[in-house]
């Protein structure tokens, strides 16, 4: 009989166990939030989970409600080693979003209070990390460490954009987090760009 295809429905600790069992632990997961918006920073997080105290319910941050993310955010901080790096819109404009994100990933790993022996990075690109590891496509849905990093990055960025809405009212940053919604584009047309808009992104660059 042909073998059945096994589809992973939730992130697990398989990749982390692989590296730890070969003496490369601790293992850090790395992910970002905010590559696509027209405004605000890209936020990158690195997270080393305690294998004996992994918060229950970790998943790709996009699959969780904001309330659930907030609960897990606190639990991750309480049980794990983590670091968060904020890369501003200015830096994104001076380089490009890919380079800014990869730079933030490396900085987040260096900022960890414990040096990892291996790193799991969400996506296709492998930054110039100080240790071995791998890039994992859709890693936030496959690796618990990347999922934890995705939650830290997402919650941090959402909170920053809520603060931005108070500094620059009228754009609705607290509603769309800087993404190019119709309401956001209309606000830019009316008010012009704010100091945290990414002027290298279309349609702002035109």
Q: Which tens digit of pLDDT belongs to each residue from 83-106?
A: 999 999 999 999 999 999 999 999
Q: Which tens digit of pLDDT belongs to each residue from 22-35?
A: 999 899 999 999 99
Q: Whole-model pTM? A: 0.94
Q: Which tens digit of pLDDT belongs to each residue from 28-67?
A: 999 999 999 999 999 999 999 999 999 999 999 999 999 9
User: In this structure, are residues 145 and 55 in contact, taking their beta carbons and an 8 Å threshold?
Assistant: no
What pLDDT score does 8 carry? 67
For the domain made up of 14-191, the CATH class stated in words is alpha beta
Q: Which tens digit of pLDDT belongs to each residue from 173-198?
A: 999 999 999 999 999 999 999 999 99
Q: Work out the burial of residue 63: count CB atoms within 10 Å of its CB; fewer than 13 is exposed, 13-18 middle, 19 or more buried.
A: middle
């Amino acid at each position: 009989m042909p073998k059945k295809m096994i589809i992973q429905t939730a992130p697990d600790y398989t990749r982390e166990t692989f590296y730890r069992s070969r003496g490369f632990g601790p293992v850090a997961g790395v992910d970002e939030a905010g590559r696509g918006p027209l405004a605000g920073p890209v936020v990158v997080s690195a997270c080393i989970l305690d294998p004996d105290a992994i918060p229950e319910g970790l998943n790709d941050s996009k699959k969780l409600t904001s309330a659930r993310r907030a609960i897990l955010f606190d639990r991750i901080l309480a049980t794990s080693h983590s670091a968060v790096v904020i890369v501003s819109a200015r830096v994104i404009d001076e380089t490009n979003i890919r380079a800014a994100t990869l730079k933030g990933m490396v900085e987040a790993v260096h900022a960890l209070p414990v040096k990892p022996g291996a790193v799991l990075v969400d996506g296709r690109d492998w930054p110039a990390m100080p240790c071995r590891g791998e890039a994992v496509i859709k890693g936030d849905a496959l690796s618990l460490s990347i999922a934890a990093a995705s939650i830290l990055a997402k919650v941090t960025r959402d909170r920053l954009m809520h603060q931005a809405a108070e500094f620059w009212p009228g754009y609705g940053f607290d509603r769309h987090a800087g993404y190019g919604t119709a309401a956001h584009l209309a606000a830019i047309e009316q008010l012009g760009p704010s100091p945290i808009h990414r002027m290298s992104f279309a349609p702002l660059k035109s």
